[in-house]
């Protein structure tokens, strides 16, 4: 009889390391985001056929892509958080399989900035 247990071979994949498809990074704690800004974020995500429940939201005023590699995001959208290597807002950057778009804080999005954001999101999600 074998000394190995059949349970050793079950679930050999890393089933808990599910990559996050979309990550949203904001500079303030979620509890500090007012209802109007939460609704706006929901509408922005809805415009690209996503919901707030389908994205991973993290808080960081400034970050480096190495800081979020653990989550394996395919897309990152920032609202007021700065990526250390890029400073231009509303421009799409692709780095190591991750597409990044930086926008202004949710409470600072006026009509012009919303149009720039929408244009960039269309390019980002419809290559």
Each residue of 4-62: pLDDT tens digit? 545 455 555 555 555 558 999 999 999 999 999 999 999 999 998 989 988 999 999 98
Instruction: Compute the mean pLDDT over every residue in the chain, rounded to the nearest whole number.
Output: 84
- Residue 2 predicted with pLDDT over 60: no
Give the burial string for 76-89 (b: 16+ CB within 10 Å, else e).
bbbbbbbbeebeeb
**Res 71: pLDDT:** 84
| Residue with the two structure tokens 């920032």 | 78
**Res 111: pLDDT:** 95
Domain boundaries, the chain: 16-125
- pTM of the predicted structure, to 2 decimals: 0.80
Q: Measure the N-to-C terminal CA separation of the chain; round to a whole number of Å.
A: 56
The tokens for 45 are: 């995500």
Say whether domain 16-125 belongs to CATH 3.40.470.10: yes
CB within 8 Å of 29: residues ≥ 6 apart = 59
């Amino acid at each position: 009889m074998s000394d190995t247990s059949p349970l050793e071979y079950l679930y050999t994949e890393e089933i808990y390391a599910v990559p996050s498809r979309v990550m949203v990074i904001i500079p303030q704690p979620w509890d500090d985001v007012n209802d109007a800004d939460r609704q706006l974020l929901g509408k922005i995500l809805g415009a690209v056929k996503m919901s707030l429940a389908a994205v991973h939201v993290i808080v960081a005023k400034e970050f480096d892509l190495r800081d979020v590699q653990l989550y394996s995001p395919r897309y990152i959208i920032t609202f007021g958080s700065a990526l250390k290597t890029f400073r231009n807002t509303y421009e799409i950057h692709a780095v190591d399989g991750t597409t990044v778009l930086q926008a202004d804080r949710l409470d600072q999005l006026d009509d012009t900035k919303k149009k720039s954001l929408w244009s960039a999101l269309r390019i980002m999600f419809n290559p």
